[in-house]
Structure 1
């Protein structure tokens, strides 16, 4: 009897493939939470500010000119730059006691209605009159910044893993 003559053989085969794949190469534990957060936090009308530099990469490190000190990857400190939708965001990420602290500077963005989104949560970001902000006690993982430009346009940075 051929396979196509046995009802449901395709369903059984797919179920077996799923079982084997789940046993040999399971998805990362935080994948489902990150996917749900990304879907729930989508804003189809927002402009995207793209990651234009990351000091953890060789190309990104060449773009940064040190002001206070070199980014120190050994101690867990690096720089991220985003641009788009009329805003620029510079963020210094620093590992502190198993959590992350973000020091940032926004240009072209309103000081109100600014949030940092992580997988499963969002945190209000208090931006001062000069565009500076600090967000502490962030768990490592995917993040993005959501704010409004000074023209009132909603802008979201690309997701980046910190």
Structure 2
């Protein structure tokens, strides 16, 4: 073909090929939802807290294997323990330096946001969180929101 235009048969072939690929090797919906949701943290008013440490706690400590995560931004460190409770998760956390804040868990595809208030010592607990991609959003009294990187809980 000497020009860059597609013929009708080329367009039909591309449609058929696209359908075949979608059927055989489709992108999982959870991956698609996480990709779409990852753009939502890009707010000029929010600070990004990067994941700087992730490790598994010993299974003997609580009976189930928990994960310890540390997120760090310029103004705050967010330390969390993610504990499996049946088919859900409990998130127990600490803000450093300690301060009161509103802490929420955002998950792609979820209509509701789980949230709680951190006390004066920066401690918080979130129950009934779904496993999967998530980020924490901390709204401090004296600054804008701080969002953690998306991570799989």
TM-score of the superposition, structure 2-length normalised? 0.81
- CA separation of 1:46/1:6 partners in 2, compared to 1, >3 Å: closer, same or farther? closer
TM-score of the superposition, structure 1-length normalised? 0.77
Mapped partners of 2:102, 2:68: distance in 1: 23
Mapped partners of 2:107, 2:27: distance in 1: 19
User: Which segments of 5 or more consecutive residues in structure 1 lack a partner in the other structure?
Assistant: 57-69
Alignment of 1:77-156 (within 5 A): 77-108=66-97, 110-119=99-108, 120=110, 121-149=112-140, 151-156=142-147
Contact residue 101 and residue 134 of structure 1 kept, 8 A: yes
Q: Which residue of 1 aligns with 2:31?
A: 31
Q: Which moved more, 1:71-80 or 1:20-29?
A: 71-80
Q: Which residue of 2 aligns with 1:62?
A: none
Mapped partners of 1:118, 1:146: distance in 2: 11
Contact residue 91 and residue 103 of structure 1 kept, 8 A: yes
User: Which segments of 5 or more consecutive residues in structure 2 lack a partner in the other structure?
Assistant: none
1:110 CA drift (Å):
4.7
Give the 3-state SS of the residue equivalent to 2:51 in structure 1. Answer: strand
Q: Which residue of 2 aligns with 1:10?
A: 10
> Over residues 2-58 of structure 1, what are the superposed CA-to-partner deviations in whole Å (9 max), with x where a residue is unaligned?
5968722332222122112112111113234334433445423311110000104xx
Mapped partners of 1:72, 1:159: distance in 2: 25
Does residue 72 of the first structure (1) align with residue 59 of the second (2)?
Answer: yes
Does residue 51 of the first structure (1) align with residue 38 of the second (2)?
Answer: no
Q: Which moved more, 1:27-36 or 1:2-11?
A: 2-11
Give 1 or 2: higher strand fraction: 2
Task: Number of aligned residue pairs: give it.
Answer: 148
Mapped partners of 2:69, 2:116: distance in 1: 17
Mapped partners of 1:16, 1:159: distance in 2: 35
Kindly report the root-mean-square deviation, in angstroms, between the aligned alpha carbons of the 2 structures: 2.6
